Chains A and B, each alone.
Chain A
Amino acid sequence: MYVAVKGGERAIDNAHAWLAEERRGDTSVAELSLAQIREQLKLAVNRVMAEGSLFDPDLAALAIKQSRGDLIEAIFLIRAYRTTLPRFGHSHPVETADMACDRRVSATFKDVPGGQVLGPTFDYTHRLLDFKLAAEGDLPEAPTAAPRQEPTPHVTSFLRGEDIIQTEPHSDAAPKDITREPVAFPADRATRLQTLTRGDEGFLLGMAYSTQRGYARNHAFVGELRIGTVAVEMEIPELGFAIEIGEIELTECETVNQFKGSKTEPPQFTRGYGLVFGQTERKAIAMALVDRALRWRELGEDNVGAAAQDEEFVLSHCDNIQATGFLEHIKLPHYVDFQSELELVRKLRREAETSTAQEAAE
């Protein structure tokens, strides 16, 4: 006698209990604290904040702990949390020229006003496993210098003085908010940039790399890459003026791209732009390259049919929360649809066999 499978509810509860145990691991090993994750896995925290679209290192650390280090799962936890938060308003645009830079490099000039500051970078480290880290110990203190007090001008502003780089159209119009309005195509640049900045780092890296290898090649120089903190100011209606509500860490990348001119534009340098929460350098550079590739229409370039030029393709597929959800949903039961396919295939086979038999008989 067949009895339909039941007990889904108990199975789910038991699975979650087991998951909690696995998350904790061997209890003889000390438990990770959120502060440890926040301080020592900072780049993971940054990625979760960037793609989760919520600047809160403590919550990101909690999400990483809860997700057992699965960063896409952690990003998902943050997104699901952020969507429940009330929206009080919006800040003034942040002034990245006033950024307190921890790192600031330009690949286009040997030296620039404000200087080249390497900052805490993996660049030029030799990728040799450091076995000393396996044994916990004290660190020698890093040398320090007095921080620069004055604003650090953008490198592209020097090119603008010479009128050799494209000028961006100025607008004070409020940009659309992709978390409040569905994205429609063609999308304006603000919508594209919003989507890219929370897009999956791996996806954008692959897209950007494809432009470097010739799929809509547009040779990019890193005009400037800067990482540091900026003040966030917000107009408070009750006060009638803007006050500083906090500081956030950002990575900003402006690329300078060769451009030989098109039917509509003179020869000049053009730009790609990346701006991402936290120290997220790879993502910011990738974002700038993809942004530049997506600008072919406004610059009068040819669409060569490359994936990175196709805004509907890029914007519809760069969100890892959408992508992972839909990918993994195929684990859910589909036996009703499969049953209808079974019947169809059986019927098609029957008919194919009958007609073959008939042909053989004739």
Chain B
Amino acid sequence: MSEYNFAYLDEQTKRMIRRAILKGLAIPGYQVPFASREMPMPYGWGTGGVQVSAAALTPDDTLKVIDQGADDTTNAVSIRKFFQRTAGVATTEETEQASIIQTRHRIPEATLREDQILVYQVPIPEPLRFLEPRETETRKMHSLEEYGLMHVKLYEDISQHGQIATSYAYPVKVEGRYVMDPSPIPKFDNPKLEMAAIQLFGAGREQRIYAVPPYTQVVSLDFEDYPFEPTKADHACDLCAAADSYLDEVIMDDAGGRMFVCSDTDYCRSRRAAGHVGRLGTEAPLSTGPEAA
């Protein structure tokens, strides 16, 4: 696709996005407006993440794209293919090997390093949006650090349900200042938001970029007597026996049979390659090729 610039976007646009990224890194958790471009995939399908990745990619990078933790979900395949065609960069499914990881809805299980960038696709960047639909109001609330509404919401959850009834996109406070939406990751992933890698969040349709620099304090909102609790299915992975990974529940038959498998497909694969075998796993690790049965 030589008719397009490296990584599709023109250099001026990438420059504009990089400026927004730098501003975001300078003000952790603050949503920076940027002039999002129409991309050749629909809004809501990762256009923010794709623009951030395009601005961050260099020809030497190795890119990994996951959706729901998996490299082989259709939209992850589609986005990876897009960058293969427009940037010609190396791609990988191995978390270890990637220098840039674009993700939707998950943080990889493996600990990320300082030389890695994690790019999130964000549908609704505003953590206060479902409490206050107006952008004019929510921007004011952020600038005044007026987060009482969010605490009232969490309190009402506890009074009605005995616990905070938010299981994904669980709000966090970044470096003691901005309340931020970590994108719709399960709250199981929230503790991982304090990491060595750079985290960039792109919301294309809503025209916002925000960031969490390495080693930044990220606290999930809670109360002293109702502390934040990351949760997952109370099982071990049926393929690799991991007890510490986020699990997908898979319905096996119409008699209610089900199994639990790692949502992070690379984590599961590497554990099986290292000889871990779960309840329904086999000794020999499966092939990881995209066309494997």
Contacts and interface: CB of A to CB of B under 8 A. Distances in A.
Contacts of A183: 207
* Chain B interface category by residue count: 35 or more
Given A325-B43, A341-B168, A1 B290 contact: no
Nearest to B20: A182
A6 B73 contact: no
A82 B38 contact: yes
Nearest to B78: A12
* Chain A interface category by residue count: 35 or more
Given A182-B33, A312-B134, A336-B168, A325 B293 contact: no
A329 interface: yes
B35 A334 contact: no
A12 B43 CA distance: 19
B291 A329 contact: no
B81 interface: yes
A5 to B, nearest CB: 8
Contacts of A164: none
A2 B81 CA distance: 27
Contacts of B169: 337
Contacts of A180: 35
A340 B44 contact: no
A21 to B, nearest CB: 20
Nearest to B71: A8
Interface string B252-293: 100000010101010000000000000010100010001111
A86 B10 CA distance: 9
Contacts of A328: 42, 44
B187 interface: yes
Interface in A75-104: 76, 79-80, 82-84, 86
Nearest to A342: B249
Interface in A178-216: 179-186
Given A6-B72, A8-B73, A184-B33, A339 B233 contact: yes
B135 A185 contact: yes
A322 B48 CA distance: 12
Contacts of A342: 249
Interface centre among B36, B42, B106 (most CB of A within 10 A): B42
Contacts of A312: 134-136
A351 interface: yes
B293 A341 contact: no
Interface stretch (B148-156, B159-167, B191-199): B159-167
B40 interface: yes
Contacts of B43: 321-322, 324-326, 329
A69 B163 CA distance: 50
B67 interface: yes
B252 A2 contact: yes
B141 to A, nearest CB: 14
Contact of B74 (A1, A12, A329, A343): A12
Interface in B34-89: 34-40, 42-45, 47, 67-70, 72-78, 81
Interface in A309-329: 312, 316, 321-322, 324-329
Interface in A1-45: 1-12
Contact of A3 (B76, B106, B293): B293
A176 B145 CA distance: 30
A8 B290 contact: yes
Contacts of A348: 161-163, 165
Contacts of B34: 182
Nearest to B42: A325
A337 B36 CA distance: 26
B184 interface: yes
A267 to B, nearest CB: 31
A332 B38 contact: no
A344 interface: yes
Contacts of A1: 280, 282
B167 A2 contact: no
Given A179-B35, A321-B43, A337-B168, A9 B136 contact: no
Nearest to A327: B44
* A-B interface, 3 closest residue pairs, ranked by CB to CB distance from nearest: A325-B43, A329-B44, A325-B42
Interface of A: 1-12, 76, 79-80, 82-84, 86, 179-186, 312, 316, 321-322, 324-329, 332-337, 339-344, 347-348, 351
18 contacts: A2-B239, A2-B252, A4-B261, A6-B291, A9-B290, A83-B37, A179-B37, A184-B33, A312-B134, A321-B43, A322-B205, A333-B68, A339-B263, A340-B167, A341-B167, A343-B232, A347-B163, A348-B163
